[in-house]
Amino acid sequence: MTKSQSASGGVALWRQIADAIRLDIVGGKLANGDRLPTEALLAERFSANRHTVRRALAVLAEEGVVAAEQGRGTFVKSIRRLSYPIGKRTRFREGLRGQAGSLTSVSISDKIENATARVAEALGLKPGTKVVRTESMSVADGVPISRSTTWLPYRRFPDFAARIKEMQSTTMVFQSYEIADYSRASTRISARHADFEETRSLNLAPGAIVLVSEAVDIDLEGEPLSYALTRFPAERMELVV
Amino acid sequence: MTKSQSASGGVALWRQIADAIRLDIVGGKLANGDRLPTEALLAERFSANRHTVRRALAVLAEEGVVAAEQGRGTFVKSIRRLSYPIGKRTRFREGLRGQAGSLTSVSISDKIENATARVAEALGLKPGTKVVRTESMSVADGVPISRSTTWLPYRRFPDFAARIKEMQSTTMVFQSYEIADYSRASTRISARHADFEETRSLNLAPGAIVLVSEAVDIDLEGEPLSYALTRFPAERMELVV
């Protein structure tokens, strides 16, 4: 293993270089269309060899952050993050309208289980109460943009899983249960590294970051309808309050 | 360099193990006070040697996530994240009241500069207009919990920097400029790896994640007062909407 690949603080040098260049872009030091410094200059700046710099650039190219042009150098491509609005009235499809050509929801799996303390608390149930749990993700223009785990009271929504597969819209499923309207009671936002399953399902590079939103939706009477744990790839999404 | 330290996807194995255990804790699989599996079991689970597992546990211990007890094993200590509420009326000190014994704001530096396109747009100014820029951080019970860069129109707040150093409260400084009340116009939340300066000032391990909030506050007439870029260590803070 060469020096260039050695881990400093557990993060390989090529990843640190990729992070630094990405930050320059996100921070506005490098704008869309700008030419990056040459490999030789980047190698000097980061005290790295050119092989390591090339690896960092390859990662950024794969992410769509930069693009190499034959004989001309490497250029910045704007990082297009989708903005997902969070408010009293939070609707996934509405919130992203106009930001993506196609937006699809994919049901991955579902099961009926007993509520853990955390799920029970969020839904105002006793721990151990039967809940429906669904695993799903959403894809914008072919790119995964979220991965959700959602719990709902089984008693009220016994066949939620079948209906969401058919209708692919939470709002429509709630309407089918005669819930005219619903709103967001609370959203808790944190961030962490993606776990193995998320890395795979969201098609992320190892070490990628997810924004995690924990959301409770309630009906007009204030009754909790669902508790959803949604992971958004930080490189593709931002949340707007 | 041993196999245990080799980078997979740019993230060392000991860091992956630390991340996985932290996830088990954050996700509720391991609760406060639980004993972790033995080093031998963890080594088996992660196909790692015990040296690597020990390194992961040492990192978690340093973060305050676990604690080794002589002769008894390693135990989970709850990750106490502070919750910072974001809403129409967002006040730093009020929002964290009761969550920390002591809360201090530290002014790092300030300067007068010309607004970049981004700052100008946020503040409703022409690019190049003079703005005050302040660098600050806040510390809860001795631990850094945020690092902010704030821009304000120079014309309206010529000596903001001197006043914030003296009063240490944005609300009080605004009052001193006869701004009776102000509110949050928008907050944009994203996440990324901490850069070198943030790692140092926030006392983070390399590879740590920051939640980034971009916030615009306005006065009662809707006039933008400030644009703040705040970085919160994701391991210490969550945002609640």
> Is pLDDT of A187 > 60?
yes
Phi-psi bin for A75: left (phi > 0), alpha (psi -120 to 50), beta? beta
pLDDT of residue A121: 92
pLDDT of residue A201: 92
> Is pLDDT of A177 > 60?
yes
What ipTM was estimated for this complex?
A: 0.74
pLDDT of residue B26: 67
Torsions phi, psi of A212, nearest 5?
-115, 125
Answer whether B240 touches A (CB < 8 Å). yes
Residue range A85-95, pLDDT digits in tens: 898 887 888 88
pLDDT of residue A27: 63
> Is pLDDT of A3 > 70?
no
Answer whether B113 touches A (CB < 8 Å). no
Chain B residue numbers touching A196 (CB-CB < 8 A)? 20
Helix (H) / strand (E) containing A22: helix A13-26
Contact B211 A193 (CB under 8 A): no
pLDDT of residue B176: 96
pLDDT of residue A228: 96
Chain mean pLDDT for chain A: 87
pLDDT of residue A1: 36
pLDDT of residue A26: 67
Contact A238 B15 (CB under 8 A): no
Chain A residue numbers touching B195 (CB-CB < 8 A)? 19-20, 23
pLDDT of residue B81: 82
Rounded to 10 deg, the angle between the A50-63 and A13-26 helix axes is 50
What string of pLDDT tens digits covers the 241 residues of chain B?
333 334 455 678 888 898 888 877 766 678 778 899 999 999 999 999 999 999 999 988 877 788 888 888 899 886 668 899 898 887 888 888 888 888 888 999 999 999 988 899 999 999 999 999 999 999 988 889 999 999 999 999 999 999 999 998 899 999 999 998 999 999 999 998 888 889 889 988 777 899 999 999 999 999 999 999 999 999 889 999 9
User: How many CB atoms sit inside 10 A of residue A40's CB?
Assistant: 10
User: How many CB atoms sit inside 10 A of residue B157's CB?
Assistant: 20
Interface of A with B in 188-217 (CB under 8 A): 188-193, 195-196, 205-207, 209-211
User: How many CB atoms sit inside 10 A of residue B3's CB?
Assistant: 11
pLDDT of residue A91: 80
Angle, vertex CA A159, rays to CA A154 and CA A161, nearest 5: 95
Q: Which of B22, B191, B206 sits opposite A8 (nearest CB)?
A: B206
Chain A residue numbers touching B90 (CB-CB < 8 A)? none
B90: nearest CA in chain A?
A241
> Is pLDDT of A68 > 90?
no
pLDDT of residue B79: 62
Phi-psi bin for A28: left (phi > 0), alpha (psi -120 to 50), beta? left
Integer Cα distance of A211 and A148 in angstroms: 12
Integer Cα distance of B162 and B107 in angstroms: 10
Chain mean pLDDT for chain B: 87
Smallest CA–CA separation between B55 and chain A, in Å? 11
pLDDT of residue B50: 93
Averaged pLDDT for residues A111-127: 93
Residue range A5-61, pLDDT digits in tens: 344 556 788 888 988 888 777 666 787 788 999 999 999 999 999 999 999 999 888
Interface of A with B in 123-142 (CB under 8 A): none
Answer whether B79 touches A (CB < 8 Å). no
pLDDT of residue B190: 94
Token output for B79: 């990750």
Q: Which domains does chain B have, with CATH numbers?
A: 3-76 (1.10.10.10), 82-240 (3.40.1410.10)
pLDDT of residue A5: 39
Averaged pLDDT for residues A217-225: 95
Burial class (CB in 10 A: 0-12, 13-18, 19+), A211: buried
Residue A52: which residues within 8 A CB-CB, separation 6 or more?
Answer: A4, A5, A13, A14, A17, A43, A46
Rounded to 10 deg, the angle between the B13-26 and B50-63 helix axes is 50
Smallest CA–CA separation between A43 and chain B, in Å? 17
